[in-house]
Amino acid sequence: MEFNLKKNSKPKICGIIVTYNIGREIYKCFNSVINQVDKIVMVDNGSDKETIAVLKKINKENSKVELIKNSVNLGLAKALNQGVLWAKKLGYSWVLTLDQDTIVGNNMVKSLVSIYSQCPFYEKIGLIGSNSRSKYSGRLYINCQNSKKDFIKVKTIITSGSLLSLTAYEKAGPFREDFFIEGIDLEYCLRLRKYGYEVLLSCRPLMTHAAGKMEEHHFFGRVILVANHEPWRYYLMTRNLLEIFFIYFWREPIWILEASFNFMKTVIKIILYEDAKMLKLKYLNKGIWDALFGRRPPLKLKA
C-alpha cells in the first residue's frame, strides 16, 4: 500500500524501539515519543527480568504498544526487521526507528513529516534522519543550521531517529542481520542510494543521542568523545566496515575515504584513551582478517 505523506495532515507512523537490558531507563525514550506516533512496537532482545517486567507493564497500560520478546539477543538488525514486518502487516508505510537511549524532541515527527512535504523530490526519499545533540557535549551531529533549507542530502545517517519509507524498504530489502549491530545503518543508507533513493537529514536537532559508554576527554582545548565499546563490538565494527568498503568501493569512493579517516581516528582514540587497549586492538585485528577471508565465526557476546 503506497502512502503519501503530502496528502495526509495526520500521517500514520509506527515507531520501532529495540531494547536490551535497559530497565526503567526505557521510560525516557518511550515517554518522549509515544504521543508523536500512532503505534509503537517494542522488540526486546533477550533482556533481564527487570527490563521485561517494565516492558510488560508499558504494554499492559498502553493500547498503542505491541511487545515482541526474543528469548536471546538476535541483534539490532534482526529486531528492526521484526518491527518492520509487524508494521507492514498493520498497513503502515512509514516507520520511525529509535535506539532505547534516544530522547526525542517534542516536534520530531512533525518536523520529519514537514521535510518530506516540502521536498521537491519526495518520491525519491528513502530515509529522513534527525539531527541530534550529544548527550555529553551538546554538540550537533552535523552542523548545517546555516543552510537555507530545513534539511540537507547526506550519504549516511544513524538508525535512531530515522523515518524509513517501507516502499523503499521493499525494494532495497531488509537490514543485514549478519552485521548484528555494527554498520547496519551505514550499509543500509548506501544500499538505498544504490536503488535510487535519497537520504536526508534535518538541519535542526530533533533528539538527544548517545552511542556506547561515552567519555569526554580534552586535547589541546578540544573536546574528544570516546565511545568505549565492548571489545567484541570493535571486531564487528571493523569486519562489517571493511565488507561495506568491498561492496561499495566503486559506487561510493569519496564516502569510503571519509569513513577510512574516521575509522583511523577511532583506532587512535582506543590507543590514547580507552581501557583494555590490547584486547580491543586484538579484536580489531581479527575483524580485519575475517573480513579479508570472508569468515563468519559464531559471535560470543559479553553483555
State the helix-helix crossing angle for 49-61 and 26-33, rounded to 10 degrees. Answer: 20
Separation CA 14–CA 174 (nearest Å): 17
Q: Work out how many domains the chain is built from and give that number.
A: 2
CB 93 within 8 A of CB 2: yes
pLDDT at residue 218 is higher than 80: no
Give the pLDDT of residue 12: 87
How many residues are listed for the chain in this entry?
Answer: 303
Q: Is residue 148 part of a domain?
A: yes
Residue 234: its H or E element: helix 231-248
What CATH number does residue 100 fall under?
3.90.550.10
For residue 250, give its domain range.
Answer: 215-293
Q: Which of 108, 110, 83 is nearest to 97 (CA)?
A: 83
> Are residues 204 and 60 located together in one domain of the fold?
yes
The answer to whether 100 and 17 have CB atoms below 8 angstroms apart is yes
My answer on whether 173 and 246 are in the same domain is no
Contact 185, 159 (CB under 8 A): yes
- Given 193, 209, 225, the domain boundary residue is 209
- 88-127 residue pLDDT tens: 999 999 999 999 999 999 999 999 999 999 999 999 999 9
Examine residue 199 and state whether it is found in any structural domain, yes or no. yes
Residue where one domain finishes, among candidates 157, 187, 209: 209
| Same domain as 99, residue 119 | yes
What letter represents residue 57's amino acid? K
Q: Average pLDDT, whole number, for the chain? A: 90
Res 8 pLDDT > 60? no
All three cell numbers of 227: 565511545
- Other beta carbons within 10 angstroms of residue 155's beta carbon come to 17
Same domain, 195 and 219: no
The percent of residues in the chain predicted with pLDDT above 70, rounded, is 87
Helix (H) / strand (E) containing 82: helix 76-89
pLDDT of residue 303: 41
Confidence of residue 221 (pLDDT cuts 50, 70, 90): low
| Terminal Cα distance for the chain, rounded | 40
Q: Answer yes or no: do 202 and 219 share one domain.
A: no
Closest residue by Cα to residue 130 from 149, 171, 102: 102
- One domain, residues 204 and 224: no
**Is 170 strand, coil or helix?**
helix
Domain's final residue, options 143, 176, 209: 209
For the residues 157-168, what does the mean pLDDT come to? 96
CB 198 within 8 A of CB 125: yes
14 plus 29 within the same structural domain: yes
Same domain, 116 and 47: yes
In a domain, residue 98? The reply is yes
Residues 88 and 58 in one domain: yes
pTM for this model (two decimals): 0.92
